[in-house]
Amino acid sequence: MRRLMTRQTLLTSLAVLTLAACASSEGPDVQIEEKADVLFNRASVALEEGNYRSATKDFEEVERQHPYSEYASKAQIMAAYAYYLDQRYDESILALDRFIDLHPGSDRIDYAYYLKSLCFYEQISDVARDQAMTAEALEALESLIRRFPESKYTRDAKLKRDLVFDHLAGKEMEIGRYYLNRNHINAAINRFKKVVEKYQTTSHTAEALHRLVEAYLTLGLTGEAMQVAAVLGHNYPGSTWYERSYELLDPEARQRILDDQGFVDRTIQSIFKPD
């Protein structure tokens, strides 16, 4: 009788252990709580080793397990940085937006704006493709420059903003040339004028002015062509684009540009003034 009870007890114990094992294998993983510094340091090591997935997981665990610790806000920004390095830009932007909302007074807030702008900047495509991401990058860079003019990240942001301007101007030039080559002259003029008026500090301005000369001459608008050529010669006197425009004009127009400085001054004010 005792042997029978012992055997029955053993079978019952085995059944309980089997059920527990099944429940453990089928159920969700249980996250063991660890100290904030342990999680943060492990994430930092993973980040240095290029194991970005592991780094983001542990940085996010710092906030989840220790939301009020001294490591929490730093872990948020580091998680966003790990996402950025892993080229998971959408996740990085979401993490940064959350950090900005939760910690507007943080001493890392300027870096959050800077990193967000980099997420857009790194996704800028060539000028032949849609420029929506370029526009997002420009908005993010200008937001940083406007909000934190004294930040150590602002100088780099300004350099990148100039490159973004050049990129957007290049897109306008591509479209303008497309219209010009297909004899859609007014549409081309609008594109070239946009480059002159909005992106006049870029490397595309001289060509845009020359293309305007071409477009106006195509329409028979000699006076407008002469005015734009004067602006081109005044601002880019040694450029190939000015030489090309100068050759397109008749001798009388060329002489007036050379002789009448007052005409050139008025032309500059007229061309660069917004509509």
All domains in the chain, ordered by first residue: 174-270 (1.25.40.10)
CA–CA separation, 249 and 222 (whole Å): 8
Better-scored residue on pLDDT, 164 or 129: 164
The backbone torsions φ and ψ at residue 42, rounded to the nearest 5 degrees and listed phi first, read -65, -40
User: What pLDDT, in 10s, does the model give residues 241-254?
Assistant: 999 998 998 888 88
Structure tokens at 245: 């425009």
Crossing angle of helices 185-198 and 205-218, in 10° steps, is 150
User: What pLDDT, in 10s, does the model give residues 2-46?
Assistant: 444 455 544 444 444 444 444 444 444 556 788 878 889 999 999
CA–CA separation, 26 and 86 (whole Å): 31
Mean of the pLDDT values across residues 166-170?
A: 92
Distance of CA 170 to the CA centre of its chain: 16
CA–CA separation, 208 and 232 (whole Å): 9
Q: What is the pTM of this model?
A: 0.73
Q: What do you get for the CA distance between the two ends of the chain, in Å?
A: 105
User: What pLDDT, in 10s, does the model give residues 85-133?
Assistant: 999 999 999 999 999 999 999 999 999 999 999 999 998 876 566 678 8
142 pLDDT band, cuts 50/70/90, is: very high
